[in-house]
Amino acid sequence: MSRTIDYRSILVPVADNDETDKALDVACRLAAQHGCSISAVVVIEVPPVLPLDAHMLEEEADAKLLLRRADAVAESYGIRALGRIVRGRDAGHAIVEEACARKVELVVIGAPRGRRQPFGHTVESVLKRAPCRVLLIAPPRAAVAVRTAA
């Protein structure tokens, strides 16, 4: 008996890396295929020495650019990505809070592989705390070996 999993809502954290681009592509394909909503979130990590509402103009401009790119990708699939910029001390924690607040059923996250651990702190944090399924989009091990050898 084959069991299909239907999603009504997907969250994709957006950052400026290849894995995020691939994760966004997968999330948009799933959203288009299942007719569900997609939320793109960019986290601005605020250093502990600053208040959470500190002016971070460059980071805010970069975040807006990432959301415009995410919206353009979603549009190419005939869907709309609801974008949101959130601030937090820790990106993983902020992503999980956003997933909880939006009651999403799936988080699709780009997962660059680390040299010392399989994935970075943000991905590890999301995997441990997410209230829903998490789909990791990561490069194959062979690609990592080639990238670090160069």
Q: Which domains does the chain have, with CATH numbers?
A: 9-149 (3.40.50.620)
Q: Specify the higher pLDDT residue, 58 or 5.
A: 58
Cβ partners under 8 Å of residue 7, min gap 6 = 30, 31, 34, 36, 105, 106
Q: Compute CA distances 81 → 39, 97, 105, whole Å.
A: 5, 18, 15
Question: What's residue 103's pLDDT?
Answer: 95
Alpha-carbon distance of 51 to 20, in angstroms, equals 28
Q: What is the pLDDT of residues 35-80, one digit of tens each?
A: 999 999 999 999 999 999 999 999 999 999 999 999 999 999 999 9
Q: pTM for the full model?
A: 0.87
| Residues above pLDDT 70, as percent of the chain | 85
Q: Give the confidence band of 120 by pLDDT, cuts at 50, 70, 90.
A: confident
> Does residue 146 surpass a pLDDT of 60?
no
Q: Give the confidence band of 140 by pLDDT, cuts at 50, 70, 90.
A: confident
| Residues above pLDDT 90, as percent of the chain | 78
Q: What is the pLDDT of residues 7-39, one digit of tens each?
A: 789 999 999 999 999 999 999 999 999 999 999
In three-state secondary structure terms, 72 is helix
Q: Are 66 and 14 in contact (CB under 8 A)?
A: yes
Strands of 81-88's sheet in order across? 81-88, 37-45, 9-13, 106-110, 133-137
> Does residue 1 surpass a pLDDT of 60?
no
Per DSSP, 119 falls in state B
